Structure 1
């Protein structure tokens, strides 16, 4: 549970640079907010779990959501505040959105330009909102399980994503059968064990890549049998290879 929550009524629109490991502490806004990292990887944590996004993704943070930001790698963070009347995708929960090359440039330009009440500024905002409305949601949410057994399993896998033991073996360690754990995963998170483990591994992989860890090392540390297997999974999920560097 996050403590010392700040209340900042207006969500800011700005560009901010954070050093690796830098944080913006727990807070909430009365506005919606978009968080986009044109360099590095941004993680947003709420009581419901964590969302993480490389440069091909943006994070949607609904009004009133208590959240904190953390930088992985050198971070160029672009924040867009939107009033509650502007919700192009009608999302009421945090989400990861795909960012097209056009949307990327619009967000970067909008957050770097001084806020002003001029027609060009309004036009830029309107096109950005139109592009946001076309952005598909991506399943990069790492939910925190509510079930005590799953929380125990979650801690094991987050501590060592390369742990390749079967669900039967892990279940013996925490005192539950694979069948019980599988059923609770479906009921709690709506995922199979392989799907959940892949999500955990991809989250960890994004953090390592943001720190410029070699792809082969990332694959090994995150439990993939080979770099090529990791690259294929990463490409299917993010639309580009893990070695791609997308910067401004």
Structure 2
């Protein structure tokens, strides 16, 4: 069994991680906000994974066992908040939009976390006020609890370009398409096409963080053409894969 570190105080700091670098499973008694001003960060918990490029941050509630993984060279900014202080009123991990202004506030605040001067405390207050205005983003990939769905999940995560029908995939794991569809609705509240699209979009963000060309990303994630991928990506995230969005 993997040992889970318990670090009571969630740190506030800036650190760098190489592409593929990880922070192993741990938990805090505090809330934490994780933001990558460069690269893409993935946070994984027992409930699934959340992925955030440089215009998104991840809220991690107190007590949540989680681990971080870097995709692309990562400049990671962590903000710890006492468990008694939940300015966003959130009890589950979520991805939040980060505007250009909020980005600069996070970077400035985490640059010198030991500074307790009145100007630095005012900076913190403004940063948290901006977070309260940040809309949640659809960047959560839920983890199934059903054993059959976990098998299916492993197949699709290993090769997001797998375009076989649910019937064909079901034969591989010994279940019918109707059974799998019902379990998807009960376990995740999703249809198979919705779930597969989420898996593909999640993987596309990771590939884009490693500077994979958009055409190659579309192919490796199973879209029939780059234009189809770009259209789905734009409708989901509000910007094209090759653009630097603003929140």
TM bracket (short chain):
over 0.9
> Following the alignment from structure 2 to structure 1, what is the Cα–Cα distance between the partners of residues 37 and 174?
44
Count of aligned pairs between the two proteins: 245
Alignment of 1:32-71 (within 5 A): 32-71=31-70
> Following the alignment from structure 2 to structure 1, what is the Cα–Cα distance between the partners of residues 244 and 137?
20
Task: Give the 3-state SS of the residue equivalent to 2:240 in structure 1.
Answer: coil
1:115 deviation in Å?
2.5
Q: Deviations over 1:135-161 (max 9, x none)?
A: 122221112111111111111111110
- Aligned partner of 2:24 in structure 1 is 25
- Aligned partner of 1:124 in structure 2 is 123
Residue 107 in structure 1 maps to residue 137 in structure 2 = no
> Following the alignment from structure 2 to structure 1, what is the Cα–Cα distance between the partners of residues 116 and 175?
60
1:114 deviation in Å?
4.2
Do the aligned residues in 2 keep the contact of 1:56 with 1:238 (CA within 8 Å)?
Answer: no
- The two structures, once aligned, show a CA RMSD in angstroms of 1.4
> Following the alignment from structure 1 to structure 2, what is the Cα–Cα distance between the partners of residues 120 and 14?
18
> Following the alignment from structure 2 to structure 1, what is the Cα–Cα distance between the partners of residues 159 and 213?
18
Do the aligned residues in 2 keep the contact of 1:43 with 1:69 (CA within 8 Å)?
Answer: yes
Do the aligned residues in 1 keep the contact of 2:20 with 2:70 (CA within 8 Å)?
Answer: yes
- Aligned partner of 2:198 in structure 1 is 199
Task: Give the 3-state SS of the residue equivalent to 2:211 in structure 1.
Answer: coil
Do the aligned residues in 2 keep the contact of 1:115 with 1:121 (CA within 8 Å)?
Answer: no
Unaligned runs of 5+ in 2: none
> Following the alignment from structure 1 to structure 2, what is the Cα–Cα distance between the partners of residues 240 and 76?
22
> Following the alignment from structure 1 to structure 2, what is the Cα–Cα distance between the partners of residues 235 and 38?
21
- Aligned partner of 1:87 in structure 2 is 86
Unaligned runs of 5+ in 1: none
Do the aligned residues in 2 keep the contact of 1:171 with 1:177 (CA within 8 Å)?
Answer: yes
